[in-house]
Structure 1
Amino acid sequence: MSRESAGPESVVSESVAHAIRAALLTADPRTKCFAARDVARRWRRGELAFAFDVAMPDRPAWPDKPELLPPNRMPKRGKFGSVRARIALWHSLAHIEFVAIDLALDMAGRFGGEMDEEFVSDFLSVAADEALHFALLARKLESLGSHYGALPAHAGLWEAAHGTRADVAARLAVVPMVLEARGLDVTPATLERVEAAGDAHGAKILARILDDEIRHVRFGTKHFLKIAEGLGKAPESLWKYLVGTHFRGTLKPPFNDSARLAAGLSRDFYTNVAS
């Protein structure tokens, strides 16, 4: 994404880091969506300075609800045909997208200073996409008579960010190239199940998310490859080392090889590390 000039008469008075920090410290989901998209828009228009004069928070601000639980305490969704199970699915997806807003904002704000303007542009555009995804899913929940925060949610999604807060290569390896890439694997099956249930609107939302997530993983892969090249290391070997060091989970097939390849992730990266 190219960045426009603010114009010769414009005064750029706020740093991009300050604007990102403010968005991260916004707890209300709807307001955070607006804040994330506003930061991306102002950056694209050249209204924010490429300066990193404030630190990112260790943890973003989140609403009181949903209640955050460890993965092993999350309730089972049940069969998709029931309204309860459908609400549980959309709520889970909404929570993933909500945390993804913060993951993208933190990526740009925490590491933008050591990377470059293209890096900031890419991940602020990701944050704006995730905000749109969350808004679509929140409205979907409302159409089913529920809302975001009505059910408990997975507490572990931010752990990958916190554990890689000191190393941009590790963050790229784990968040876009493992966690978001996993979305490329599982979303098509979910989309088929939603279509089979006759939910054309829900299928359209998932198709939009899948298309965007390919681009998000591609951004992560692109910047990871640049880092590996700068270090003089083979990207596949570096990625495997960083994933082995920083990722607590396991990489499980089946993989959506075509979507991963479209995102720049060849099988050379993940075949031998899959369990």
Structure 2
Amino acid sequence: MKFNNKNVYVSEKAVIGKNVKIGDNSVIYDNVIIGDNSVICNDCIIGEPLNDYYFSDNYENPKTILEEGAFIRSHSILYAGSSFGKKFSTGHRVTIRENSKFGNNCRIGTVSDIQGYVEFGDNCWLHSNVHIGQQSKIGNYVFIYPYVVFTNDPTPPSNTCVGPTVGDFSQIAVGTVLLPATKIGKHCLVGAQSLVGGKHEDYSLIIGNPAKSIKDVRELKSKETGKSHYPWPYNFSRGLPWEKEGFENWKLKNGYEND
């Protein structure tokens, strides 16, 4: 473990792995576990206590797990009770509230706000300024672009909280709003600035305000090649598990035969 410079606090109840670097002014609270070869940059808080910490003498911080290879950029706050898979990374000033669950190789962009009680699969990429409301469920290999908002209250203000669900390999383009209980299937493309509610089947192209499924996304052609661009994993592999072997070979080895 390496404390890079000054004003670093690490709880005696935290477990820090090998070759972990922690930057200036960062705080690691009770019951945080940080895996090997992770980097916590300046001014970060890992395991931020929940509300009861400030009012209860009997508060015990829930366990927070960052698996190996994490890279948390400056001014990010990860609340207690959350778990993050291998090679989790953030941009700057990211907030992730309690009881969030992330798979492996997820990336969360600068100034994104994850409101807790959410589930992400593996290899999800969120760009900057994304807001994810509670009770949202996101599959594997889902990309969410800037200024997207996932909402969760169908009759605000109320005590009902039903977040959107997004299937594997779907793309949610810039400026989109997903309404409470929206269901997006696998391999879908949601067009920019769409307002989306309801249920949409696999391979849907979803566009508009209010949004509608207008065609099978596999009908869209690439301007460069003239061929179908979707499913996109056949045409994009940078930083993804199939980068070296191609999506067809990878999916057969990893149980995605029907995708």
Which TM-score tier does this pair reach, normalised by the shorter chain? under 0.3
Structure number, greater radius of gyration = 2
TM-score, scaled to structure 2: 0.27
Structure holding more helix per residue: 1
Structure holding more strand per residue: 2
Bigger relative contact order, structure 1 or 2, given CA contacts below 8 A and separation 6+?
A: 1
